[in-house]
Amino acid sequence: MFLSAAGCDEACSDRVVFAVGGAPSELEAWEELAADFTRETGIRVEILRRPADTDQQRQSLILALNAGLSHPDVFLMDVVWVSLFAESGWLEPLDGFDPGPFFQSVIETVDLHEGKLVALPVYMDGGVLYYRRDLLDRFGLRPPETWAELLKSSLRVQNVLREKNPDFYGFVWQGAQYEGLITNFLEFAGSEGGFLLRDGRILLDLPANRRALEYMRDLIRKYRVSPPSTYTEMREEQARLYFQQGDALYERNWPYAWSLHQSPGSPVRGKTGIRALPSPAGEEAVSTLGGWHIGVSRFSNVKPQAMAFVRYVTSSQGQKKMVLRLGWNPGRQDLYFDPEILAALPYLAELKDVFRQARPRPMVPYYPQISNIAQRQINSALAGHIDAGEALIRAEREIAALLIRYGKPARTEPGE
Ligand code: GLC
């Protein structure tokens, strides 16, 4: 499947096959970066376009790597699956690379495996709130600092705008059954004082988590400020497009949406603001740490060329190009002081602390399975099939059974 999707077989041995997913604009930017690399080095790169959904990307990579296929040679990995890939022995150590310029805490928790560097951060994500500045002005409102303000203003604005546009909703976010739902849930829960992992324990059935899940469900089912499609189809791109076509007042998304909202032809260009997510009483916002890391397959037949490509992508010059084009938060620390980048992305300095303090998900090889269990139960509570408390109890019970199968104590140290 991978071979035909790549459109190449053994004939590919003269080029580096790079698997990467994302919004169409991101894929175009990767094509351009790869072309620049080829011009400078003579090494050809074939981009294997994958879907934006992180779970789908992981599954397709696992198929190829489990089969020991030599392609793709290089790929991007979501921060939450680097540990699984490293533990499975699929990553070639990045010997000779200097992790110095990157965020040390990220390198230590994500990219080092048994003392060896196996990946490098290309960009870092943290959840943020986008708002329609023009609409808030029109209604004499300010950007919400608390979840209560977000709800109140959503109801007020949507009641009026729905007269002309029945599809208008106050707030869009990621509620479909996939990894993005967990990142959203952890932000709602975190701002209530809840969590999934604390002091080495994986827990879900907590009063704060329950309050958060009830609130998420109520946004859709009781207050109706989030569309019913929230739990059936809202992923990053669906939420981004909903807001971008002018049908929502607020959107929770990652920083990549900023440059797309501001792009020529976007109906919300010049009308969009960005800030930290709200919290219950205006205290510090909680944002989930996301991001994508680059690594080389242990099965690649063109490792030196693949390494050269990784070096290019993670260089100051390569990252700067992508940051300016896509509005990413770079994995390299030095770029946060680059005047050109700060001028192009004013929010980078403003939201620095949001990104710096973003909360990681558990960095364990079996995280995708923990997440799958939680996704299923949380999504079913949003759909109204099951009570929020019951969903969390069931998820916690299933996760405990999974950990026992892995021979792990229910109390699991992150990174164990
Ligand atoms: C973004 C984040 C990633 C997260 C995913 C969830 O791509 O960078 O870490 O898992 O969204 O959908």
Least confident of 24-38, 65-79, 196-210: 196-210
10 Å Cβ neighbour count for 164?
7
Which residue's CA is minimally distant from atom 6 of ligand 1?
180
Ligand 1 mutation pick, 124, 125, 185, 287, max ligand atoms within 8 A of CB: 125
The rounded mean pLDDT for the chain is 92
Model confidence at 405, pLDDT cuts 50, 70, 90, reads confident
What is the 161 CA–ligand 1 centroid distance (Å)?
31
What atom of ligand 1 comes closest to residue 182's alpha carbon?
Answer: 6
Digit-coded pLDDT (tens) for 244-269:
999 999 999 999 999 999 999 999 99
Q: Which phi and psi angles does 97 have, rounded to 5°?
A: -90, 145
What is the model's pLDDT at position 10?
52
Digit-coded pLDDT (tens) for 186-212:
999 998 888 887 777 788 999 999 999
- Residue 31 pLDDT exceeds 70: yes
What is the model's pLDDT at position 13?
65
What is the 163 CA–ligand 1 centroid distance (Å)?
35
**394 token code pair:** 């069931």
Which residue's CA is minimally distant from atom 4 of ligand 1?
290
Digit-coded pLDDT (tens) for 136-191:
999 999 999 999 999 999 999 999 999 999 999 999 999 999 999 999 999 999 98
| Ordered domains of the chain (ranges, CATH) | 10-125+291-345 (3.40.190.10), 128-286+363-416 (3.40.190.10)
- Residue 409 pLDDT exceeds 60: no
What atom of ligand 1 comes closest to residue 174's alpha carbon?
Answer: 12
What is the model's pLDDT at position 351?
84
Residue 56, Cβ density class (10 Å: 0-12 exposed, 13-18 middle, ≥19 buried): middle
10 Å Cβ neighbour count for 95?
8
- Residue 389 pLDDT exceeds 70: yes
Q: Is the pTM of this model over 0.85?
A: yes
Contact between 272 and 133 (Cβ < 8 Å): yes
What is the model's pLDDT at position 251?
98
Nearest to 258 by CA among 158, 355, 140, 139: 355
- Residue 16 pLDDT exceeds 50: yes
E strands along 254-393, which residues? 272-275, 289-296, 329-330
Residue 152, Cβ density class (10 Å: 0-12 exposed, 13-18 middle, ≥19 buried): middle
Query: What sign has the CA pseudo-torsion 383, 144, 240, 55?
Result: negative
What atom of ligand 1 comes closest to residue 290's alpha carbon?
Answer: 9
3-state secondary structure of 96: coil
Model confidence at 282, pLDDT cuts 50, 70, 90, reads low
Percent of the chain with pLDDT over 90: 79
Q: Ligand 1 — pocket residues by CB below 6 A?
A: 54, 78-80, 125, 179-180, 183, 236, 254, 290-292
Digit-coded pLDDT (tens) for 329-368:
999 988 988 999 999 888 888 888 888 789 999 988 999 9
Q: Which phi and psi angles does 279 have, rounded to 5°?
A: -140, 175
- Residue 411 pLDDT exceeds 70: no
